[in-house]
Amino acid sequence: MTTELSPGLVIQRFTAPLPLNRFKVIAFDMDSTLINIECIDEIADAAGKKAEVSAITEAAMRGEVTDFKDSLRRRVALLKGVPATFLDQVYTERLRLNPGAEVLLDAVHAAGLRSLLVSGGFTFFADRVRDRLKIHRAQSNVLGIEDGLLTGEVIGGIVDGAEKQRQLLRACEEAGCAPAESIAVGDGANDLPMMGAAGLSVAFHAKPKVREQAMVAINSGGLDRLLEVLR
């Protein structure tokens, strides 16, 4: 069953509203979900390489690139030699929280949910967004930096779709709840594994493949529209 609860808010396979206190954990993607940009594209733009990087990003988010780790390595390699100061420039000048992010996080925290930010983006941004929104934990990728320049490498393991799912399941274990008591919010193909594991999957201004598989699709308005589904 598919219902447009109100303009731009579609629910599938369940009847709204659901009680918010039914859930114990909520996990968010970051880029284009909690925030308004794809950080890697904006770093590339500041370095004059946005067209090359954005083309790979878009294909990955649509699900046309099946190996996210490889696509991320290819994009990061294009940033070799970019001054690390560009990260702060992107954060200060371009990154904004998406509408409704603060309202939604305040509401789920007030209801006692544990929050998780799990991103295929970078710790420089994820840790700052975590702190701004008082999110309990963040997991993301580490950019290599030497002598003030990006090395073109990711340090350590890469957070891909499978890792996002693992982090959601870890958060549920830490909270002492079943995955069915969790919510996952994302917009791209690499969010689908964690969304598939969650009890409630939410697509936010998402790619068509993600909207089709999500239980809730927010196609207009802010993240706080999820509160129209949860009571």
DSSP characters over 174-190:
HHT--GGGEEEEESSGG
Region for 176 from its dihedrals, namely left if φ exceeds 0, alpha if ψ lies in -120 to 50, beta otherwise: left
- Digit-by-digit pLDDT tens for the chain (231 residues) are 689 988 999 999 898 899 999 999 999 999 999 999 999 999 999 888 888 888 888 887 787 877 889 999 999 999 999 999 999 999 999 999 999 999 999 999 999 999 999 999 999 999 999 999 999 999 999 999 999 999 999 999 999 999 999 999 999 999 999 999 999 999 999 999 999 999 999 999 999 999 999 999 999 999 999 999 998
- The residues assigned a catalytic role are 29, 31
pLDDT value for 62: 81
Q: Is residue 222 part of a domain?
A: yes
> 113 is written with which tokens?
């949910």
Residue that is written with structure tokens 């930096």 in the block: 145
Q: Is residue 145 part of a domain?
A: yes
Q: In angstroms, rounded to a whole number, what is the distance separating the alpha carbons of residues 224 and 231?
A: 12
- Per-residue DSSP letters for 26-82? EEE--BTTTBSS-HHHHHHHHTT-HHHHHHHHHHHHTT--S-HHHHHHHHHHTTTT-
Q: Are 59 and 94 in contact (CB under 8 A)?
A: no
* Spatial CB neighbours of 102, under 8 Å, sequence gap ≥ 6: 133
Q: Is residue 149 part of a domain?
A: yes
Q: Is residue 73 part of a domain?
A: no
**Per-residue model confidence as pLDDT tens digits over 72-119:** 999 999 999 999 999 999 999 999 999 999 999 999 999 999 999 999
Number of domains in the chain: 1
Q: Is residue 47 part of a domain?
A: no
pLDDT value for 140: 98
Q: Is residue 150 part of a domain?
A: yes
Where in the sequence is the domain holding 12, given as residue range(s)?
2-36+97-228
CATH number at residue 214: 3.40.50.1000
Count, in order, helices (H) and strands (E) of the chain: 9, 9
The three-class DSSP label of residue 213 is: helix
Which residues is 138 bridged to in the sheet?
117
Q: Is residue 83 part of a domain?
A: no
At residue 163's C-alpha, the angle toward residues 79 and 189, to 5°, is 70
Q: In angstroms, rounded to a whole number, what is the distance separating the alpha carbons of residues 49 and 35?
A: 21
Which residues is 9 bridged to in the sheet?
6, 218
pLDDT value for 57: 82
Q: From the CA atom positions of the chain, what is the Rg in Å? A: 17
- The upper half-sphere exposure of residue 201, i.e. CA atoms within 13 Å in the direction of its Cβ, equals 22
pLDDT value for 5: 87
Nearest to 54 by CA among 70, 66, 37: 37
pTM above 0.85, yes or no: yes
- 219, 185, 34, 48 alpha-carbon torsion, rounded to 10°: -80
Q: Is residue 6 part of a domain?
A: yes
